[in-house]
Protein backbone atom coordinates (compact mmCIF):
# COMPACT_ATOMS: atom_id res chain seq x y z
CA UNK A 1 0.00 0.00 0.00
CA UNK A 2 1.25 3.53 -0.86
CA UNK A 3 2.40 5.56 2.13
CA UNK A 4 0.05 8.43 2.95
CA UNK A 5 1.48 11.93 2.40
CA UNK A 6 0.23 15.44 2.98
CA UNK A 7 0.20 17.15 -0.40
CA UNK A 8 -0.51 20.79 -1.26
CA UNK A 9 -1.93 21.18 -4.76
CA UNK A 10 -1.47 24.81 -5.76
CA UNK A 11 -3.97 25.69 -8.49
CA UNK A 12 -6.05 22.81 -7.14
CA UNK A 13 -9.23 24.30 -8.62
CA UNK A 14 -7.72 24.77 -12.09
CA UNK A 15 -7.51 22.72 -15.28
CA UNK A 16 -4.77 20.30 -14.17
CA UNK A 17 -4.89 20.86 -10.41
CA UNK A 18 -8.44 19.70 -9.81
CA UNK A 19 -7.73 16.44 -11.66
CA UNK A 20 -4.54 15.99 -9.60
CA UNK A 21 -6.61 16.50 -6.42
CA UNK A 22 -9.13 13.87 -7.51
CA UNK A 23 -6.47 11.31 -8.43
CA UNK A 24 -4.56 11.83 -5.18
CA UNK A 25 -7.74 11.47 -3.13
CA UNK A 26 -8.46 8.21 -4.97
CA UNK A 27 -5.05 7.05 -3.73
CA UNK A 28 -6.01 7.97 -0.16
CA UNK A 29 -3.56 10.88 0.07
CA UNK A 30 -4.19 13.87 2.35
CA UNK A 31 -4.73 16.73 -0.05
CA UNK A 32 -4.81 20.44 0.67
CA UNK A 33 -6.16 22.57 -2.17
CA UNK A 34 -4.11 25.72 -2.82
CA UNK A 35 -6.69 28.33 -3.85
CA UNK A 36 -7.62 31.88 -2.96
CA UNK A 37 -10.98 30.54 -1.77
CA UNK A 38 -9.75 27.79 0.58
CA UNK A 39 -8.81 27.98 4.23
CA UNK A 40 -5.90 28.45 4.66
CA UNK A 41 -6.01 30.47 1.48
CA UNK A 42 -3.17 30.50 -1.05
CA UNK A 43 -2.63 33.60 -3.15
CA UNK A 44 0.39 34.14 -5.40
CA UNK A 45 -0.13 37.89 -4.95
CA UNK A 46 0.10 37.61 -1.16
CA UNK A 47 3.39 35.99 -0.03
CA UNK A 48 2.08 36.10 3.57
CA UNK A 49 -0.42 33.38 2.63
CA UNK A 50 2.22 30.89 1.45
CA UNK A 51 3.58 29.66 4.81
CA UNK A 52 0.23 28.62 6.30
CA UNK A 53 -0.64 26.72 3.12
CA UNK A 54 2.72 24.87 3.18
CA UNK A 55 2.82 24.06 6.90
CA UNK A 56 2.52 20.33 7.59
CA UNK A 57 2.92 19.39 3.92
CA UNK A 58 5.32 16.70 2.67
CA UNK A 59 4.94 17.46 -1.03
CA UNK A 60 3.71 20.25 -3.27
CA UNK A 61 2.40 20.48 -6.83
CA UNK A 62 3.19 23.99 -8.06
CA UNK A 63 0.98 25.62 -10.69
CA UNK A 64 1.97 29.25 -11.08
CA UNK A 65 -0.61 31.69 -12.36
CA UNK A 66 -0.80 33.11 -14.96
CA UNK A 67 2.51 31.81 -16.38
CA UNK A 68 6.11 31.20 -15.30
CA UNK A 69 7.25 33.54 -18.10
CA UNK A 70 5.70 36.69 -16.60
CA UNK A 71 7.75 39.26 -14.68
CA UNK A 72 7.73 38.42 -10.96
CA UNK A 73 7.26 34.67 -11.41
CA UNK A 74 10.94 33.93 -10.70
CA UNK A 75 10.90 35.84 -7.39
CA UNK A 76 7.63 34.16 -6.38
CA UNK A 77 8.95 30.66 -7.09
CA UNK A 78 12.15 31.51 -5.18
CA UNK A 79 10.12 32.75 -2.21
CA UNK A 80 7.79 29.77 -2.24
CA UNK A 81 10.64 27.25 -2.39
CA UNK A 82 12.45 28.95 0.52
CA UNK A 83 9.35 28.62 2.68
CA UNK A 84 8.72 25.06 1.48
CA UNK A 85 12.21 24.07 2.64
CA UNK A 86 11.72 25.76 6.03
CA UNK A 87 8.35 24.12 6.61
CA UNK A 88 9.73 20.62 5.89
CA UNK A 89 8.39 19.94 2.39
CA UNK A 90 10.43 17.12 0.82
CA UNK A 91 9.28 17.10 -2.81
CA UNK A 92 8.04 19.59 -5.41
CA UNK A 93 6.54 18.93 -8.83
CA UNK A 94 6.45 22.03 -11.01
CA UNK A 95 4.14 22.53 -13.98
CA UNK A 96 5.99 24.41 -16.70
CA UNK A 97 5.44 25.26 -20.34
CA UNK A 98 7.13 23.23 -23.10
CA UNK A 99 9.32 25.54 -25.15
CA UNK A 100 9.04 28.49 -22.78
CA UNK A 101 12.63 29.68 -22.46
CA UNK A 102 11.55 32.29 -19.91
CA UNK A 103 10.13 29.60 -17.62
CA UNK A 104 13.45 27.77 -17.37
CA UNK A 105 14.80 30.21 -14.76
CA UNK A 106 11.93 29.18 -12.49
CA UNK A 107 12.55 25.50 -13.22
CA UNK A 108 16.18 25.97 -12.12
CA UNK A 109 15.06 27.36 -8.76
CA UNK A 110 13.18 24.11 -8.12
CA UNK A 111 15.94 21.91 -9.57
CA UNK A 112 18.62 23.58 -7.42
CA UNK A 113 16.54 23.74 -4.26
CA UNK A 114 17.84 20.55 -2.66
CA UNK A 115 14.26 19.22 -2.56
CA UNK A 116 13.32 16.11 -4.49
CA UNK A 117 11.66 17.42 -7.64
CA UNK A 118 10.16 16.64 -11.03
CA UNK A 119 9.63 19.20 -13.79
CA UNK A 120 6.60 18.67 -16.03
CA UNK A 121 6.74 20.78 -19.18
CA UNK A 122 3.36 20.68 -20.87
CA UNK A 123 2.45 21.65 -24.39
CA UNK A 124 -0.68 23.82 -24.95
CA UNK A 125 -3.69 22.23 -23.27
CA UNK A 126 -6.56 20.66 -25.26
CA UNK A 127 -8.84 22.14 -22.61
CA UNK A 128 -8.03 25.70 -23.74
CA UNK A 129 -10.78 24.99 -26.30
CA UNK A 130 -13.37 23.97 -23.69
CA UNK A 131 -12.42 25.63 -20.40
CA UNK A 132 -10.44 28.70 -21.35
CA UNK A 133 -9.74 31.44 -23.87
CA UNK A 134 -10.68 29.53 -27.05
CA UNK A 135 -14.14 28.56 -25.75
CA UNK A 136 -15.93 31.83 -26.56
CA UNK A 137 -14.72 31.89 -30.20
CA UNK A 138 -15.82 28.24 -30.57
CA UNK A 139 -19.27 29.15 -29.23
CA UNK A 140 -19.39 32.08 -31.66
CA UNK A 141 -18.48 29.70 -34.51
CA UNK A 142 -15.62 31.94 -35.67
CA UNK A 143 -12.09 31.32 -34.44
CA UNK A 144 -9.62 34.00 -35.50
CA UNK A 145 -6.09 33.17 -34.36
CA UNK A 146 -2.52 33.90 -35.50
CA UNK A 147 0.20 31.36 -36.32
CA UNK A 148 -1.76 29.37 -38.94
CA UNK A 149 1.27 27.24 -39.85
CA UNK A 150 2.27 26.26 -36.33
CA UNK A 151 1.82 22.54 -35.68
CA UNK A 152 0.85 22.32 -32.04
CA UNK A 153 1.14 19.03 -30.13
CA UNK A 154 -1.74 19.92 -27.76
CA UNK A 155 -1.92 17.80 -24.60
CA UNK A 156 -4.83 16.65 -22.48
CA UNK A 157 -5.01 17.91 -18.88
CA UNK A 158 -6.04 14.39 -17.82
CA UNK A 159 -2.66 13.11 -19.08
CA UNK A 160 -0.82 15.95 -17.36
CA UNK A 161 -2.58 15.19 -14.08
CA UNK A 162 -1.71 11.49 -14.29
CA UNK A 163 1.94 12.29 -15.00
CA UNK A 164 2.03 14.76 -12.09
CA UNK A 165 0.51 12.25 -9.66
CA UNK A 166 2.91 9.54 -10.79
CA UNK A 167 5.79 12.01 -10.25
CA UNK A 168 4.49 12.98 -6.80
CA UNK A 169 4.03 9.39 -5.65
CA UNK A 170 7.00 7.58 -7.16
CA UNK A 171 10.59 8.49 -6.38
CA UNK A 172 11.91 7.04 -9.64
CA UNK A 173 10.81 10.36 -11.19
CA UNK A 174 13.00 12.46 -8.89
CA UNK A 175 15.31 14.79 -10.80
CA UNK A 176 13.55 14.13 -14.11
CA UNK A 177 12.13 16.60 -16.62
CA UNK A 178 9.21 15.43 -18.73
CA UNK A 179 7.93 17.15 -21.85
CA UNK A 180 4.41 16.03 -22.53
CA UNK A 181 2.41 16.28 -25.74
CA UNK A 182 -0.38 14.66 -27.71
CA UNK A 183 0.48 11.90 -30.22
CA UNK A 184 -0.30 14.36 -33.08
CA UNK A 185 0.62 17.96 -33.83
CA UNK A 186 -2.23 20.01 -35.30
CA UNK A 187 -2.61 23.45 -36.80
CA UNK A 188 -5.34 25.62 -35.31
CA UNK A 189 -7.41 25.03 -38.44
CA UNK A 190 -7.09 21.23 -38.11
CA UNK A 191 -8.00 21.40 -34.41
CA UNK A 192 -11.07 23.54 -35.17
CA UNK A 193 -12.13 21.14 -37.95
CA UNK A 194 -11.89 18.18 -35.56
CA UNK A 195 -14.10 20.03 -33.06
CA UNK A 196 -16.53 20.82 -35.89
CA UNK A 197 -16.66 17.10 -36.83
CA UNK A 198 -17.19 16.04 -33.22
CA UNK A 199 -19.96 18.54 -32.57
CA UNK A 200 -21.62 18.70 -35.99
CA UNK A 201 -21.26 22.46 -35.78
CA UNK A 202 -20.22 24.84 -38.54
CA UNK A 203 -16.95 26.32 -37.22
CA UNK A 204 -14.73 28.62 -39.26
CA UNK A 205 -11.05 29.23 -38.58
CA UNK A 206 -9.59 32.52 -39.80
CA UNK A 207 -5.85 33.22 -39.85
CA UNK A 208 -4.97 36.68 -38.54
CA UNK A 209 -1.67 38.47 -38.03
CA UNK A 210 -0.33 38.61 -34.49
CA UNK A 211 -0.73 42.42 -34.52
CA UNK A 212 -4.39 42.07 -35.56
CA UNK A 213 -4.95 39.54 -32.81
CA UNK A 214 -3.37 41.89 -30.24
CA UNK A 215 -5.68 44.68 -31.44
CA UNK A 216 -8.69 42.35 -31.13
CA UNK A 217 -7.69 41.47 -27.55
CA UNK A 218 -7.26 45.16 -26.70
CA UNK A 219 -10.70 45.97 -28.13
CA UNK A 220 -12.17 43.12 -26.04
CA UNK A 221 -10.73 44.73 -22.89
CA UNK A 222 -7.94 42.19 -22.25
CA UNK A 223 -5.42 43.81 -19.83
CA UNK A 224 -2.07 44.87 -21.33
CA UNK A 225 -0.02 42.32 -19.32
CA UNK A 226 -2.16 39.47 -20.64
CA UNK A 227 -1.81 40.79 -24.20
CA UNK A 228 1.96 40.72 -23.63
CA UNK A 229 1.73 37.12 -22.37
CA UNK A 230 -0.40 35.89 -25.29
CA UNK A 231 1.90 37.66 -27.74
CA UNK A 232 4.87 35.88 -26.10
CA UNK A 233 3.16 32.49 -26.10
CA UNK A 234 2.09 32.74 -29.75
CA UNK A 235 5.34 34.17 -31.14
CA UNK A 236 7.96 32.48 -28.95
CA UNK A 237 6.32 29.15 -28.22
CA UNK A 238 4.16 28.44 -31.28
CA UNK A 239 6.47 30.35 -33.63
CA UNK A 240 9.41 28.08 -32.82
CA UNK A 241 9.39 24.84 -34.90
CA UNK A 242 11.32 23.06 -32.10
CA UNK A 243 8.11 23.28 -30.10
CA UNK A 244 6.11 21.42 -32.74
CA UNK A 245 7.95 18.22 -31.83
CA UNK A 246 5.92 15.31 -30.44
CA UNK A 247 7.35 13.48 -27.44
CA UNK A 248 6.73 10.04 -25.96
CA UNK A 249 7.07 11.08 -22.31
CA UNK A 250 3.42 10.34 -21.45
CA UNK A 251 4.00 6.77 -22.59
CA UNK A 252 7.34 6.64 -20.79
CA UNK A 253 5.77 7.67 -17.47
CA UNK A 254 2.30 6.11 -17.71
CA UNK A 255 2.99 3.07 -19.89
CA UNK A 256 0.21 4.04 -22.30
CA UNK A 257 -0.14 6.38 -25.26
CA UNK A 258 -1.10 10.02 -24.75
CA UNK A 259 -4.77 10.92 -25.33
CA UNK A 260 -5.50 11.75 -28.96
CA UNK A 261 -7.07 15.19 -29.61
CA UNK A 262 -9.99 13.43 -31.32
CA UNK A 263 -10.69 11.39 -28.18
CA UNK A 264 -10.75 14.64 -26.19
CA UNK A 265 -13.14 16.32 -28.64
CA UNK A 266 -15.54 13.34 -28.77
CA UNK A 267 -15.66 13.17 -24.98
CA UNK A 268 -16.00 16.93 -24.54
CA UNK A 269 -18.70 17.25 -27.22
CA UNK A 270 -20.90 14.94 -25.11
CA UNK A 271 -20.76 17.35 -22.15
CA UNK A 272 -22.59 20.01 -24.20
CA UNK A 273 -19.98 22.69 -23.43
CA UNK A 274 -19.62 23.51 -27.15
CA UNK A 275 -23.38 23.85 -27.60
CA UNK A 276 -24.04 26.53 -24.98
CA UNK A 277 -25.61 29.81 -26.05
CA UNK A 278 -23.13 32.51 -27.00
CA UNK A 279 -22.10 34.67 -24.01
CA UNK A 280 -23.05 38.39 -24.11
CA UNK A 281 -19.39 39.45 -24.29
CA UNK A 282 -18.82 37.80 -27.71
N1 LIG B 1 -3.09 26.55 -20.59
C2 LIG B 1 -2.08 26.02 -21.29
O3 LIG B 1 -2.19 25.68 -22.47
C4 LIG B 1 -0.76 25.77 -20.58
C5 LIG B 1 0.24 25.04 -21.24
C6 LIG B 1 1.44 24.77 -20.58
C7 LIG B 1 1.63 25.24 -19.28
N8 LIG B 1 0.63 25.96 -18.68
C9 LIG B 1 0.85 26.47 -17.32
O10 LIG B 1 -0.20 26.08 -16.48
C11 LIG B 1 -0.36 27.05 -15.47
C12 LIG B 1 -1.84 27.29 -15.28
O13 LIG B 1 -2.36 27.87 -16.39
P14 LIG B 1 -3.88 27.90 -16.79
O15 LIG B 1 -4.07 29.19 -17.48
O16 LIG B 1 -4.19 26.67 -17.56
O17 LIG B 1 -4.67 27.96 -15.41
P18 LIG B 1 -5.46 26.88 -14.53
O19 LIG B 1 -4.52 25.98 -13.84
O20 LIG B 1 -6.60 26.28 -15.25
O21 LIG B 1 -6.31 27.76 -13.48
C22 LIG B 1 -6.05 28.72 -12.75
C23 LIG B 1 -5.73 28.23 -11.30
O24 LIG B 1 -4.88 29.21 -10.80
C25 LIG B 1 -5.43 29.67 -9.59
N26 LIG B 1 -5.11 31.08 -9.43
C27 LIG B 1 -5.42 32.12 -10.25
N28 LIG B 1 -4.93 33.26 -9.74
C29 LIG B 1 -4.31 32.92 -8.57
C30 LIG B 1 -3.61 33.65 -7.57
N31 LIG B 1 -3.45 34.97 -7.64
N32 LIG B 1 -3.10 32.98 -6.53
C33 LIG B 1 -3.27 31.63 -6.40
N34 LIG B 1 -3.91 30.88 -7.32
C35 LIG B 1 -4.42 31.54 -8.38
C36 LIG B 1 -6.92 29.41 -9.63
O37 LIG B 1 -7.34 29.19 -8.29
P38 LIG B 1 -8.46 30.04 -7.50
O39 LIG B 1 -9.20 30.87 -8.52
O40 LIG B 1 -9.31 28.97 -6.88
O41 LIG B 1 -7.68 30.84 -6.51
C42 LIG B 1 -6.96 28.12 -10.45
O43 LIG B 1 -6.82 27.00 -9.59
C44 LIG B 1 0.47 28.25 -15.85
O45 LIG B 1 1.65 28.27 -15.07
C46 LIG B 1 0.81 28.00 -17.29
O47 LIG B 1 2.05 28.50 -17.67
C48 LIG B 1 -0.55 26.23 -19.28
Q: pLDDT band for 282, please (50, 70, 90 cuts).
A: very low
Residue range 32-76, pLDDT digits in tens: 999 999 999 999 999 999 999 999 999 999 999 999 999 999 999
Question: Are the CB atoms for 259 and 122 separated by under 8 Å?
Answer: no
Q: Is the CB of 125 under 6 A from ligand 1?
A: yes
Is the model's pLDDT at 242 over the cut of 90?
A: no
Which CATH number goes with the domain that contains 84? Answer: 3.40.50.720
Distance from the alpha carbon of residue 25 to the mean position of ligand 1, in angstroms: 20
The sign one gets for the Cα dihedral 117, 157, 123, 34 is: negative
Is the model's pLDDT at 243 over the cut of 80?
A: yes
Is the model's pLDDT at 281 over the cut of 70?
A: no
Distance from the alpha carbon of residue 43 to the mean position of ligand 1, in angstroms: 12
Report the alpha-carbon distance of residue 158 to residue 23 in Å, rounded: 10
Question: Are the CB atoms for 76 and 44 separated by under 8 Å?
Answer: yes
DSSP H or E run through 6: strand 6-10
Residue range 69-110, pLDDT digits in tens: 999 999 999 999 999 999 999 999 999 999 898 899 999 999
Q: Is the CB of 97 under 6 A from ligand 1?
A: yes
Percent of the chain exceeding pLDDT 90 equals: 94
Residue 104: inside a domain, yes or no?
Answer: yes
Residue 222: inside a domain, yes or no?
Answer: no
| Cα-to-chain-centroid distance, residue 172 | 23
Residue 45: inside a domain, yes or no?
Answer: yes
Residue 140: inside a domain, yes or no?
Answer: no
Residue 81: inside a domain, yes or no?
Answer: yes
Domain that holds residue 52: 6-125+155-181+245-259
pLDDT at 102: 87
Residue 165: inside a domain, yes or no?
Answer: yes
Distance from the alpha carbon of residue 65 to the mean position of ligand 1, in angstroms: 4
Residue 110: inside a domain, yes or no?
Answer: yes
Q: How many domains is the chain built from?
A: 1
Residue 89: inside a domain, yes or no?
Answer: yes
pLDDT at 276: 81
Amino acid sequence: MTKQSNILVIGGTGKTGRKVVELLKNQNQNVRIGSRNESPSFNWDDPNSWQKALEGMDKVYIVYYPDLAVPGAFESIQGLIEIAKKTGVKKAVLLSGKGEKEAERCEQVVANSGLDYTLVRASWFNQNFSESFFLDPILAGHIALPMPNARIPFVDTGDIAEVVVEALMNETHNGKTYEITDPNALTFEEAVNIIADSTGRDLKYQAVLQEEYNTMMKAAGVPADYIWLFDYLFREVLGNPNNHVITSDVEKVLGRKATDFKVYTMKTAKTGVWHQSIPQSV
